[in-house]
Amino acid sequence: MAGFFESYRRLTPFLRPYRYVVLGALACTVGFVLTTPAMAHLVERLTRFIGNGDLQAITELTGMSIGIIVVRGLCQYGQDTLMAKAALRGANDLRNHVHAHVQTLDLGWLAGQRTGDLSYRLTEDIDRIGEVTRKFFHQFIPCVLTATAVLAYLLFLNWQLTFLTLIVTPFIGWLFGWFGNRLLVQSRRSQGQIADLSALLVETFSGIRIIRGFAAEKYEQGRFETLSDQNRLARFRAEQIKAIQYPVIGLLQGTGVLLVFWVAAWQISQGNLTPPQFAGFAAGIAFLIDPVVLITSNLNELREVQASAERVGELLEVQPTVLEAPDARVLPPVQGLIELRNITFGYADARPVLSQINLRVEPGEVVALVGPSGSGKSSLVNLLPRFYDTQSGTVCIDGIDVREVTFKSLRRQIGIVPQETMLFSGTIAENIAYGSEGRSPVEIEEAARIANAHDFILELPAGYQTLVGERGVNLSGGQRQRVAIARAVLLDPKILILDEATSALDNESEALVQEALNRLMRGRTVVVIAHRLSTVRDADRILVLERGQITETGNHGSLLDRGGLYAQLYNRQFERTPV
């Protein structure tokens, strides 16, 4: 049970802001609970007066019963609405907190996670937690209190029959635990499989063109059906456990009730119990049945949702390693001087990707990084906006260590145009203004003109208000790149990172994008990653990276004359024969 309570303990802070709402709901619950023994007591008195034929007393008791029913209904309404309000707000706050937490986690950790699994934790898992939280206060606590109040009334009425009623309680409690543990195992299995299914769907929908291109629809359908069937089996086994649990516990409860009736009949025959008293006792037993059934059901749900609580808790336990310093200051507007001093960097416990890198890039200088795949080019540029921290050494912008400034002030001064542009669901205008909210339509249009995007945007059905579709699937690769360049133009950074920005484009698109990039690069410090060496011939300086170290430095002509790795790569791309 320790693990059970621990799974839910970390979620209680999200209900704390609504404690007065919860207390209001509990006050309504107490009112609702107190009406239950009152109703049982009225049944006893009505039975007595019906036997006497006292019509006036019966009329008064009937009026009192109607009043109690009205109060009971009002208390139930207050309990239900207030608890739903607290539970839904708490679940929403939890979702927002988890989402904000995930935004802070290291890119390396996020890259190793499945998007579908993270999405499922933030949606379905938290929804289930919110629902079971509502039921805990709306059903479980009221039922426990109701059962306690009814049992207290039954003890007052006839303690011998009440103890007889409770004689099967230890067996029922043991069965709850036994069945609950098995339900938890199946729920964990089912939640994991649903997360796998969600991850597979994300992969399938994201890669639908590849699937169609390789005629792999049947293969993907087979994967989906296998995971779906595994989830079905896990859920069916959980239902089997519940299907066994209810009749077994019902048998014990029924046996206990029958035993009570037999003993009650014997007590009446001995003159130790009157029929009206037994009618009141029977009414109490009747009022006890629903709470016990709901307690059983809620305990099952609490066990099942424990798996969701554990999955969300696991996510909250992951902590970022790239942290903003508590005393971080705002980076002032920069000139664009970049310095890497004795940099060593590696991912997790792997061998260093970069080793003893020293580099100085002057403001306004265009520096190109070339080298084989895995040589450390992307790792190097990822250190500038502090997506990762170095193992040793210092990254400085205008002489200021990037670890001393806020993330926002640093990253707002570094523009990135990646190889594969990410566009978000929304309009063209919203995507251009991403990260630069509040810009006017005139500024957005001017940025699009500089990026060679204005003309194709005007040809779209709704111009700048055209919805681009998820990930920008309605646009060609060249169009997406020009929107990304317009986004960087609007940000107006002093430092620009171009990560193979034209490598995946056809010749016509590349020409338009390159022209836009040339405009964007003016007056900025630019670091270019390129596999197409034709795009970096005009760079002020070209750095050749090999196995995490800078092995060659120079301009295009000097590196060709040297005949080293750069010359080999260049000649290989253009099928030139070295002189």
Q: Can you give the C-alpha Rg of the chain in angstroms?
A: 35
* 496 within 8 A of 516, measured Cβ to Cβ: no
53 has a pLDDT exceeding 70: no
Sign of the alpha-carbon torsion through 12, 18, 20, 23: negative
Place of tokens 């010749």: 507
One-character DSSP codes across 181-226: HHHHHHHHHHHHHHHHHHHHHHHHHHTHHHHHHTT-HHHHHHHHHH
In a domain, 8, yes or no: yes
Nearest one of 269, 264, 298, 304 to 284, comparing CA atoms: 264
What pLDDT was estimated at residue 361?
A: 92
- Rounded Cα gap, residues 549 and 543, in angstroms: 10
In a domain, 576, yes or no: no
- Rounded Cα gap, residues 331 and 315, in angstroms: 31
Q: Which of 320-329, 333-342, 432-441 is the least confident region?
A: 432-441
What pLDDT was estimated at residue 209?
A: 61
**In this structure, what token pair is assigned to residue 125?**
């898992």
Domain extent at residue 299: 2-317
204 has a pLDDT exceeding 50: yes
Show Cβ contacts of residue 202 under 8 Å, excluding neighbours closer than 6 positions. Answer: 114, 115, 116, 119
pLDDT interval class at 51 (50, 70, 90): low
In a domain, 224, yes or no: yes
What pLDDT was estimated at residue 49?
A: 65
pLDDT interval class at 166 (50, 70, 90): low
What pLDDT was estimated at residue 3?
A: 45
What pLDDT was estimated at residue 548?
A: 87
**In this structure, what token pair is assigned to residue 436?**
């630069």
Tell me what the mean pLDDT of segment 372-387 comes to: 89
303 has a pLDDT exceeding 80: no
173 has a pLDDT exceeding 70: no
pLDDT interval class at 577 (50, 70, 90): very low
Domain CATH code at residue 78:
1.20.1560.10
**Furthest C-alpha separation in the chain:** 124
Read off the amino acid at residue 400: I
What pLDDT was estimated at residue 211?
A: 72
Highest mean pLDDT among 157-161, 256-260, 562-566: 562-566
Reported as type and span, the H/E element at residue 527 is strand 525-529
- Rounded Cα gap, residues 468 and 428, in angstroms: 6
194 has a pLDDT exceeding 50: yes
Share of the chain above pLDDT 90, in %: 11
One-character DSSP codes across 323-372: ---TT-BPPPPP---EEEEEEEE-STTSPPSEEEEEEEE-TT-EEEEE-S
In a domain, 230, yes or no: yes
User: What 3-state DSSP class applies to 416?
Assistant: strand
Average pLDDT, the chain: 79
- Rounded Cα gap, residues 91 and 13, in angstroms: 11
pLDDT in tens, 213-248: 666 778 778 877 887 787 777 777 777 776 777 677
pLDDT interval class at 359 (50, 70, 90): very high
Tell me what the mean pLDDT of segment 252-276 comes to: 72
Q: Which of 144-158, 311-325, 482-496 is the least confident region?
A: 144-158
Question: 138 or 85: whose pLDDT is higher?
Answer: 85
What pLDDT was estimated at residue 168?
A: 63
Highest mean pLDDT among 124-128, 177-181, 384-388: 384-388
Show Cβ contacts of residue 44 under 8 Å, excluding neighbours closer than 6 positions. Answer: 157, 276, 277, 279, 280, 283
In a domain, 282, yes or no: yes
- Rounded Cα gap, residues 264 and 285, in angstroms: 13
Based on the structure, what is the number of domains in the chain?
1
What pLDDT was estimated at residue 401?
A: 94
User: What 3-state DSSP class applies to 551?
Assistant: strand
Tell me what the mean pLDDT of segment 286-297 comes to: 71
349 has a pLDDT exceeding 70: no
Sign of the alpha-carbon torsion through 389, 394, 397, 400: positive
- Rounded Cα gap, residues 365 and 402, in angstroms: 20
496 has a pLDDT exceeding 50: yes
553 beta partners: 543
Dihedral of CA atoms 411, 415, 419, 425 in degrees, nearest 10, equals 80
In a domain, 371, yes or no: no
* 131 within 8 A of 94, measured Cβ to Cβ: no
* 380 within 8 A of 545, measured Cβ to Cβ: yes
In a domain, 391, yes or no: no
339 has a pLDDT exceeding 90: yes
In a domain, 309, yes or no: yes
